[in-house]
Structure formats: structure tokens, C-alpha cells
Amino acid sequence: MAHDRDHVERVKRIARFLAEREGANVEIVLKAAELHDIARDCENHAIESARIAETILRQQGFDEEFINSVKHAIEAHSFSGKIEPRTLEAKVLSDADKLDAIGAIGIARAFIFSGEKKRGIEETLRHFEEKLLKLKDQLYTETAKRIAEKRHSFLRDFYEEIKRELGFEDLR
């Protein structure tokens, strides 16, 4: 699955790396990364994941400031959610999730997701155009932007090559 436990673990690893380099609160970032896709099957998964996370964190005895910080990071991580991250921790989670959507892993995830949704190659390539190829320019932290250069280049090269192999000039 494209949004499975492995995805969450990769996002946590990337988020920790970014948080440490950017000076974000690692505990908030890791908790937000752990819970960011807990409601993945819902229509607005970011909002629902934040709501569920709030309940979990309250049960675990976290204070209101911590809970609100984690909630905001989760709410603001989604590409389609259109909620602007207001904190460094939210920016780090958003960047970590986007970094896992580009490069070789991003390509693999895109095709796994398309298989789950019974989409073909052409529809998957439209997803590249509508989302994946835009992610590099939506990153917030300097560390993520540096990492994204190579991943984006690989993604773009793959996209251009598969279009050539399919005989498409332009899918737009």
C-alpha cells in the first residue's frame, strides 16, 4: 500500500533528519509524523487524522500546547488540504511527507497507489503533472529543498522517459 506503515516510518525518519537540522521540536515532529495518516481512508484525511491524534494524545497525557502543535502539523501536512503551516514543526512534517512522494520511492508509491485505485499508466502520469512534479516548489525548509533537488530530477527524468516510451508528446 502507498500509505502504509512503511510510509509512516520513512516520513518519521525524514522528519527527524529535517527537524534536527532545522532546529524544530523533534518530539512534536515525530509524534505528528507517527499520526499524520492515521485516518488515510477518510475524504479529508489530514483533518480527521488531527482529530483522532488529539484524542490519542489527550489519553496519553500530553499537555494542550503539545497537542495543538501536533494537531496543526497534521492538519497542514496535506498537499490537497490547502492549510498553510504556521510553525516550523508543521513545515517539517509537510516537507517530510512531500519528500517521500518524489524520487524513486515516490514513483513506486505513485504506481502502487494507482494499482490500488485501478488506474492505468496515463492516469498515473497525470498525477505526476498535477501533484508530484510540483512538490519540489512547495517545500519550506532549506534542508528539504536540498534533498528534493536530486529526487525531483530523478522523478522528472523518469516522467519524460516513460512519456517517450509511450509515444506521447505532451499529456497536458
Nearest partner of 26 among 93, 78, 75, 98, judged by Cα: 93
pLDDT of residue 4: 64
Which part of the chain is CATH 1.10.3210.50?
A: 5-89
Q: 29 vs 11, 48, 121, 126, CA distance in Å?
A: 10, 18, 34, 31
What is the pLDDT, as a whole number, of residue 110? Answer: 95
Size (the chain), residues: 172
Give the CA distances from residue 69 to residues 22, 24, 40, 123, 142, in Å, rounded to whole numbers and listed in that order.
17, 12, 20, 36, 21
Conformation bin of residue 167: beta by default, left when phi > 0, alpha when psi is -120 to 50: left
Start-end ranges of CATH 1.20.58.1910 in the chain? 103-166
Helix intervals (H) in 100-141: 103-116, 121-130
Looking at domain 5-89, which CATH architecture does it have?
Orthogonal Bundle (1.10)
pLDDT, residue 78, reads 83
Amino acid in position 6: D
Distance CA 142, CA 57 (A): 30
CATH 1.20.58.1910, domain 103-166, yes or no: yes
Instruction: Show pLDDT as tens, one digit a residue, over the chain (172 residues).
Output: 545 689 999 999 999 999 999 999 999 999 999 999 888 776 788 889 999 999 999 999 999 999 999 999 999 998 777 789 999 999 999 999 999 999 999 999 999 989 998 999 999 999 999 999 999 999 999 999 999 999 999 999 999 999 999 986 554 5
Q: Are 28 and 89 in contact (CB under 8 A)?
A: yes
Distance (Å, rounded) from C-alpha 14 to C-alpha 3? 15
d(CA 96, CA 100): 6
pLDDT of residue 3: 58
Predicted local distance difference test score (pLDDT) of residue 92: 98
